[in-house]
Amino acid sequence: MSVYRAVEVTGSRQFAFVERETRDPLPGQVRLRVQACGVCHSDTLAVEGLRADASVPVVPGHEIVGMIDAVGAGVTAWPVGTRVGIGYLGGHCGECEPCRRGDFVNCADQPQTGTTVDGGYAEVAYARASGLVRIPTDADPLQIAPLLCAGLTVYRALLSAGPRPGALVAVQGIGGLGHLGIQYAKALGYRVAAIARGSGKADLAAELGAEDYIDSTNTEPGPALQQLGGAAAIIATAASGAAMSPLVTGLAPRGQLMVVGAAPDPIEVRTPDLIFGTRAVRGALTGSSIENEDNVSLAARLGVRSRNETFPLSQAPEAYERMLSGQARFRVVLDTRS
């Protein structure tokens, strides 16, 4: 088709449904027909106008699954008809210092899909070949889409923390990230403790794979984790620095608090809690495209599944509001095929 539908934003929450002309992909790029796109909290960077120039229209969305229908010059490993995914990191350049050192996640010249370049709230998307993730042709695109950012984020945080097999891993928060984090930790062979507010999610946590549940409204999570032997890693998914701060005392010696939930308030830590026990607080930023392939493969083989609410592309603003409300169970996905 010569034109395609897209949802673009300018300013703060100024959505517009537009038709754009289809173009040939640039050298090193591919063009794909989008089949599904997750609606992620990081979409706020585009939708809430938190970009360098919010007056320039951009198409949000960075959990994209689609089928390649055209390739640019120099692209040889991604033939037309290949199903692929695109995550938040839109493809490393291969030339900057981080890339030359093999640190593709921290590439200095990498598009941020749906923020600095157009994303997947559209029927068509474009991406660097270096940012593509191979997706099995028989996979459900609606199921795969949230794994490309939310799934990869918690999966990579677990790998970065590197707990020994069978160690205690805690997941704070049972939402869009946390419900996946529990499943990945269980699939990777860890003993899992879930931390959430109230007792209402205890059964869900057990269903997802948690062996222990800590209600942070009536139990201090740090001492509770120490009673379980101390956590080798805590994956902090709730967007609250105040809620993350008490977790440090629950770490085992050399344990790591892996921060994946972006919060507006700071994390406060007593220095002795870090020094005695050589504990650490670390941030975790998604992963590379090949790590994302590993992530998707592992999820398929071991039964990690995202629980989604699905909207058509025509309801993209409503889908975004549903995600932002925190009431979605648990990820929101746009079905662009309809």
Q: What per-residue confidence (pLDDT) applies to 289? A: 97
Torsion of CA 213, 217, 220, 225, to 10 degrees: 10
Show which of 283, 304, 319 is a domain's final residue.
Answer: 283
Give whole-number Cα distances, 305 to 56, 59, 210, 240, in Å. Answer: 36, 27, 15, 25
Return mean pLDDT, the chain.
97
From CA 112, how far away is CA 164, in angstroms rounded? Answer: 33
Residue 1 pLDDT exceeds 80? no
Kindly state whether residues 200 and 137 are assigned to the same domain: no
Model pLDDT for residues 42-67, shown as the tens digit of each residue: 999 999 999 999 999 999 999 999 99
Among the ranges given (106-110, 222-226, 311-315, 334-338), the one the predictor scored with the smallest mean pLDDT: 334-338
Q: Please say whether the beta carbons of 124 and 86 come within 8 A.
A: no
CATH number at residue 28: 3.90.180.10
Please state, for a pLDDT cut of 90, what percent of the chain lies above it: 97
pTM, whole model, 2 decimals? 0.95
Give the number of C-alpha atoms closer than 13 A to the C-alpha of residue 47, restricted to the C-beta side. Answer: 23
Q: Please say whether the beta carbons of 57 and 10 come within 8 A.
A: yes
Q: Tokens in use for 250?
A: 């629950």
- Which residues is 269 bridged to in the sheet? none
Task: Give phi and psi for 34, each to the nearest 5.
Answer: -75, 135
- Which residues is 206 bridged to in the sheet? none
Kindly state whether residues 8 and 134 are assigned to the same domain: yes
Kindly state whether residues 143 and 156 are assigned to the same domain: no
Which residue's entry shows tokens 């050589």? 278
Kindly state whether residues 46 and 142 are assigned to the same domain: yes
Higher pLDDT, 326 or 68: 68
Kindly state whether residues 141 and 225 are assigned to the same domain: no
Give the number of C-alpha atoms closer than 13 A to the C-alpha of residue 288, restricted to the C-beta side. Answer: 16
Range of the domain at 328: 3-149+287-335
Kindly state whether residues 56 and 132 are assigned to the same domain: yes
Q: Please say whether the beta carbons of 141 and 36 come within 8 A.
A: yes
**Mean pLDDT of the region 291-296:** 97
Model pLDDT for residues 248-277, shown as the tens digit of each residue: 999 999 999 999 998 989 999 999 999 999
**Mean pLDDT of the region 299-306:** 96
Model pLDDT for residues 181-190, shown as the tens digit of each residue: 999 999 999 9
If one counts the domains in the chain, the total is 2
- Label residue 239 by pLDDT band (50, 70, 90): confident
Kindly state whether residues 22 and 99 are assigned to the same domain: yes
Residue 194 pLDDT exceeds 80? yes
Kindly state whether residues 156 and 264 are assigned to the same domain: yes
Kindly state whether residues 99 and 169 are assigned to the same domain: no
Residue 25 pLDDT exceeds 90? yes
**Mean pLDDT of the region 108-137:** 97
Show which of 265, 283, 301 is a domain's final residue.
Answer: 283
Kindly state whether residues 27 and 144 are assigned to the same domain: yes
From CA 91, how far away is CA 197, in angstroms rounded? Answer: 38
Kindly state whether residues 138 and 158 are assigned to the same domain: no
Kindly state whether residues 245 and 223 are assigned to the same domain: yes
